[in-house]
Amino acid sequence: MKSLEILENRTGSDWTNLRAARLTSDRERVELTEALDAFSNADTSIVVVGSMARQEFTPGSDVDWTLLLDGISRPQDDQLARDIRQVLEAIKKKQPGREGVFGTLVSSHDLIHRIGGEADTNANTTRRILLLLESIAIGRPDAHNRVLNNLLYRYLEEDRGLWFGSNQSKVPRFLFNDVSRYWRTMAVDFAYKQRSRPDGGFLLRNTKLRMSRKLLFLTGMLTCFDCHTRFDDQLARSEFYKTKPVQAVIDRLRSVLSQPPLEILALSLLAYNSFDDSIKKLFTAYDEFVGMLADDTLLPNGWTKREHLDRLAVEQTEGDTVASEARDISHRFRDAIGELFLTKDTELGRLTLEYGVF
């Protein structure tokens, strides 16, 4: 978390909750690695996405895992997935949500070959984008690494505009559009879940959408922008792209994506000293969001803040102090993002306006 720590010092901030979540995430990862030691091999990786991969794990977080298969299909693989679930239950880990997107087998074939079109289901898109933007391997990473490289290969190799387009901006649109699409899909699914799950969870989902889901989109966007911004000048950029060095770009993107989203964001903002007030506002809001989810203090109703957000009915949110606190945090986060990215005064802002809207 090098860049984040630099920004914390530079802006005179105290992002204690982010530091605590990083430590918790690391501890959880070690525990999972020990518990699931025997379940991965050269052809299968246990992939965890979500808060643990983002290094934002808090005591109420789910362990969103999949058993990623990238090799010969074996009938026993299904049993492996069931056994992983049992192991996680035995060590008291909260299992993935009810949609069935995680906690199961996933084939690399679907992830790599079904991008767009009828066969690209909501679950497939979710798994693919989260694998790219916020995933870690528990145990052997061979399959995880291969699938990430092959996924990026598809996005990049087929992006004619990146290699041969007349636009001087070098942003991989195929990848960027898929990340953007997923962001909108999450927003639409929020409305879908509001309808299909009237029993609760509205406020927690809403807060996550405004914070961690938005962060995911932001870092996906910044990762794509890195293809353009990492060059000193246009000459160096043109020189690099003229030979279509797909593998070199994959390597660079893998290097960026090997860091958690907050670090990607921090690294992108390091150069913008004149925006330090907005940078402080952004990360402070996120720190408070993580702190809210981690807070185990009981409210008068006997719930933690997280439980309160999860259980409060949608019609009770008006005037609720916890709901109001969550809303305030998310508004400060939104405003800071606007100050940093919706401006023509910076390269990041220019690219956001060029690519992020139309």
**Is residue 271 within the footprint of other proteins (CB under 8 A)?**
no
Q: How many CB atoms lie within 10 A of CB 270?
A: 14
User: Cβ of residue 230: shortest distance to other proteins, in angstroms?
Assistant: 17
193 versus 244: smaller Cβ distance to other proteins: 244
Burial 127-137 (b: 16+ CB within 10 A, else e): bbbbbbbbbbb
Question: Is residue 3 at the binding interface for other proteins, with CB under 8 A as the rule?
Answer: no
Closest CB 153 distance from other proteins, rounded Å: 4
Secondary structure element (H or E) that encloses residue 105, with its range: strand 104-107
Which one, 16 or 167, has the nearer CB to other proteins?
A: 167
**Residue 299 Cα distances to 9, 206, 286, 302, 318, angstroms:** 33, 20, 22, 5, 18
**CA 140 from centroid of its chain's CA atoms:** 21
State how far the Cα of 300 lies from the Cα of 310, in Å rounded to an integer. Answer: 16
Site string for other proteins, 18-57 (x = CB under 8 A): ------------------------x---------------
* 205 in contact with other proteins (CB under 8 A): no
User: Which 297-326 positions form the footprint of other proteins (CB under 8 A)?
Assistant: none
Q: Does residue 114 touch other proteins according to CB under 8 A?
A: no
Largest CA distance in the chain: 64
Q: Strand pairing of 104-107 and 135-138?
A: unpaired
Asked whether position 124 contacts other proteins by CB under 8 A, the answer is no
- x/- site string to other proteins, residues 138 to 177, per CB under 8 A? ----x--xx--xx-xx---------xx-------------
Q: Which of residues 65-84 bind other proteins (CB under 8 A)?
A: 71-72
Cα atoms in the Cβ-side hemisphere of radius 13 Å centred on 164: 4
Stretch that binds other proteins, among 210-218, 224-232, 246-254, 301-309 (CB under 8 A): 246-254
What minimum distance in Å lies between the beta carbon of 165 and other proteins?
12
Among 7, 132, 250, 348, binds other proteins (CB under 8 A): 250
Token pair of 105, please? 């087998």
User: How far apart are CB 259 and other proteins at their closest, in Å?
Assistant: 17
Query: Is residue 104 part of the contact set for other proteins (CB under 8 A)?
Result: no
Q: Where does the chain have alpha helices with state H?
A: 2-10, 16-35, 51-54, 77-90, 108-113, 122-133, 142-157, 160-164, 173-196, 202-208, 214-229, 234-241, 246-257, 261-269, 276-294, 305-311, 321-341, 347-355
Taking the complex as a whole, the smallest distance from the CB of residue 25 to other proteins amounts, in Å, to 23
Rounded least distance, CB 142 to other proteins, Å: 7
Residue pair 217/180 in contact by the 8 Å Cβ criterion: yes
Q: What does the binding site for other proteins look like in residue numbers (CB under 8 A)?
A: 42, 71-72, 142, 145-146, 149-150, 152-153, 163-164, 242-244, 246-248, 250-251, 254
